[in-house]
Chain A
Amino acid sequence: MAGGTTEARPRGGMKRRVYLVDGARTPFLKSRGRPGPFTPVDLAVQCGRPLLLRQPSVAEAIDITILGCVNVIADEVNPARVAALRLGLGEEMVAFTVQINCGSGMQSIETAFRYIQDGSADIILAGGAEALSHAPLVIRRDATDWFGRFSIEKSVRNKAKRLTELRPRFFKPIVGLKRGLTDPIVNLNMGQTAEVVAHLFSVTREQSDQYAVTSHLRLAQAQDAGFLKGEVIPIVDREGNLYEKDDGVRPDTSVEKLAELSPAFEKPYGQVTPGNSSQITDGASWTILASEAAVDKHRLAPFARIVDSQWSALDPSIMGLAPTLCATAMLKRNGLARDDVGLWEINEAFAAQVLACLAAWEDEAYCKEGLGLDGPFGLIGHDRLNVDGGAVALGHPVGASGNRITLHLANAMKRLGAKRGVATECIGGGQGGAILFEAA
């Protein structure tokens, strides 16, 4: 491992301080119904190259590379290792991929945080990458079975016989992404779980649409004001097309326009529409985490310090509420209350799901029985939540999103002078993850 001498490895459980020192991501590119120009590793390479260029001394001292990715494509089985080699990090770079579904990009940061905290490493490159537009078409199970039977036949006569068993439906592939977004335990699509939590906490269609509009306007404002400079780096595909910013943003959208859309998952009465859900996009994001010793040695300027992290889980059908579990537990453990947190990033899988979380935190019974608090956690004001927009406007490349919200939280804390921040997200399958930052 480059720079592998870990200074002052602590003994007996003393925990070291860990900093997020830099990070960069690609623009998030809306899926246009066919495979986009980049694979997950292409995306990781595109934003990793400029990040490593602007951190030359760090680039040479990285101990481990960790990448979150859910839909790994067949040509890039361990995308972390492929990306590390393509980034020129050297043959000796240890690299592994982590996967916890929608939380994978945060899992890489969390894993890096724990390694550095316990003294196993000093500098880790932790990222997330996803190319949802590359999600494979899956051959139907009965078609695969038929092909298996056909190919083991030796004689022409038997082959011909098998041919008569061929059915037209065999040629109709299943969109892998659709399967991936459906929970196999409760057989609910993610959008349907958002309908469930919206119902449980009385979130209305109008509230969701209003929230979605705000997300678009905030992202557009952040892009125009240059708040994403250095965080989002333009990329170029092989045909020479330039992608400079998240292209799902619609600053001209309005509650009226969104009201016209039909429900996407539960027709005709549902409220979750394509307009108030996160978009299907491709994107990648990297962060660099460093120990205090490494910060001093390389004279780095940290964005923020990672204080703690937490995973929690509940029933898959109400996965959207998981952020309330993990974030609350994490704050409780650190003796912090709602008002101690100046900035929040809650990943916008669905507008209704974010609003359900906010409502749950104000719900006395839920907070007492569900979260073990003495009373309601309280209202998280919109002025401190997803201040530069979220996945509804810029999309949710599942393996990258957790990395993006964490990086962006650190960036926004620096810009706004916030003392503490929490990044949290719901995870398909009924889980949630959270990270707590303190100003460096």
Chain B
Amino acid sequence: MAKYVANRLFAMLITLWIIVTITFFLMHAIPGSPFNQERNTSEAVQRNLEAHYHLNEPVFVQYFIYLKSLATLDFGPSIKQSSTSVNEMIGRGFPVSAELGMLSLAIAVISGVILGIFAALKHNGTIDYIAMTFAVIGISVPNFIMATLLIQQLAVNWEIFPVATWSSPMHMVLPAVALATGPMAIIARLTRSSMIEVLNQDYILTAKAKGMSTYQIVIKHAMRNALLPVITILGTLVAGVLTGSFVIEKIFAIPGMGKYFINGINDRDYPVIMGTTVFYSAFLIMMLFIVDIAYGILDPRIKLHKRGN
């Protein structure tokens, strides 16, 4: 176990380093410096600015400067908003995004699992068909369209929820639901198929023969095994929620990390793009790692050190 964790941590570092390297050289492959655009600066000011951001150094030197600052968790300054650093942006944006992400993941997991279980219990019945049609629609409708529909109906026409921004729990409902529909549909489908498989096993039959109620069988026996596949895709779902939050935050004008990332892209603010990308990637890799470990603990059939062969 300890050896496996150590191996995985090492692999994570390698992956992260590769991401940093790719991101860095991609960003520096773009011709021109961030300062030779609309601003009218004199030659001297230009040179001073470039020197301040180490832009006058060879690319490789810049690369090592960047790696060094990353090692101390310093993502560097923003070029376009010179008063704020990328660290400050992450510090301000991440709690908001995390709140939104956790909320929608919770919605997705809870409602997806419930939907999937009911569909499996009524396999090939009406509830099954309704739930699964619902799920396919959930997968098919992109979240930005779902968000707009929700705003149009629930916020503009019926005025139940506020249209945008992020201040009270009521403000959180629509964006969280819009972000949750896709993952919810995926979870519902997965839960259903693994639940059907589990319900057909002998030990469930035994439980039924003992006279247990359906409720007890599902909660006590079936769910444990049926939810294992759901845990495996949780890592991927976190990635989906995270990228999905870019558009959701844009639509609902939520001051999260996605906003800074998108603004960074629109402004071509390279340190911001690099910093947020590296942060997102590190976060995602961390989540995948946690999911893997959790899976190994929850499923005794899996021996951690043997995985991947």
Q: Do A and B originate from a single complex?
A: no
Interface residue ranges, B against A (CB under 8 Å)? none
Interface residue ranges, A against B (CB under 8 Å)? none
